[in-house]
Amino acid sequence: MSASLLLRNLFCFSFSSNTKLTKPYFAVSIKAMEARNDLPTTVDTNQNYPKPISAPPPPISKDIELKRAMEASSKSSLFNLTRNDVLYEDEWLMAVNKPKGIYCESVLSSAPKVIVDSSSTANEFHLANRLDRDTSGVMLITKSHKVAAKLVKAFTEHKIRKSYIALCIGSSPNWSKITVRSGHGRSKHGAWRVYAALDVGRVLPGGSFVRDMETTFEVVSVNGEKTEPLEVESVIVVEGEPGLSCVGDDVVVVRAFPRSGRTHQIRLHCRYLGIPIRGDVKYHGMYEWRGRTFEGHELHAESLSFDHPVTGEPIVIRAPLPCWVAGDGECDG
């Protein structure tokens, strides 16, 4: 994909790795706007709602998603963690490697069975973070209400650093590192969609609001060949243009660093960049590819970095990488 196409479709600029952006992207947060009563309290009588930038899910996705959900419910009902799934544990929290195709609630319910600290009370276990059904990787589970509240606050204040890795299908990117900044929202009964950055704070049908969404991506490999990172980073502020078309058959492995924690954030931004995640039929990812069918998207929560909510010590938790990270297109495990 040429640089001219990227510039034509998107508002894009570059800066060196030493350049600092002194003004926050969304200078006024939603909470600040709510505190000042700047957000509308009633729906615009003219129904002048913001229009989503990204396309709705394809019609085929409904039946496929239903089938996947039923299969995951069956698998989840029989699922039990083992000590091999535990990545970290102390008296206050534990981290586990969630498998693909298992619901978070099943992981949580089986956690008390594998803990080392038998003094913990099972009814105080909480999910500190949630992963989509088909997303694998690091999940944090707290063992008390107090610790849970501290970690929720840390996530809300963006004090926990997250990295994900995804296998995408599309044209080889003409960037090695890029940050996408947009809006995020959905109507009352609709799918999650990308909105223009300028729409952040505007009301949507049903009374919800467009929220800010920001993700930084780095290319890890293209068709199994590792890429050398460049010092120049591109930044896209989504305006009113549609995302890049999903044309191309390259296998692109990317590492994603979400600043915000919106539902399906990485999946939405990959689709916007024209490299939807393989198997992510809801967001136009390849369901059937090179003669094979993929049951679920290939997105993995690689690591979490944070200060311990009790001791204050820095912690980095990493989950083993799935085989598809090799990027040769041969593995779907």
Could you report the average pLDDT of every consecutive run of 10 residues in the chain (333 residues)?
39 36 37 46 63 92 95 96 95 95 95 78 84 96 93 90 96 93 88 95 93 96 86 85 79 95 95 96 92 93 97 96 82 65
CA 206 from centre of chain:
24
Closest by Cα among 294, 299, 291 to 281: 294
Q: Indicate the pairing of strand 225-226 with strand 161-170.
A: unpaired
The model's pLDDT over 105-144, given as tens digits with 9 standing for 90+, comes to 999 999 988 888 666 666 789 999 999 999 999 999 999 9
| Residues known to be catalytic | 132
The model's pLDDT over 210-247, given as tens digits with 9 standing for 90+, comes to 999 999 999 999 999 998 777 778 899 998 777 777 78
Supply the pLDDT for residue 21.
35
The count of other CB atoms within 10 Å of the CB of residue 129 is 20
Of the options 3.40.718.10, 3.30.2350.10, 3.40.190.10, 3.60.15.10, the CATH number for the domain spanning 59-321: 3.30.2350.10
Q: What are the residue boundaries of the structural domains of the chain, listed by start?
A: 59-321
How many angstroms separate the CA atoms of 233 and 227, rounded? 15
Q: What is residue 3's three-state secondary structure?
A: helix
How many angstroms separate the CA atoms of 184 and 162, rounded? 19
The overall pTM is greater than 0.85: no
Supply the pLDDT for residue 116.
80
Q: 114: Cβ–Cβ under 8 A, 6 or more apart, which residues?
A: 81, 82, 83, 85, 86
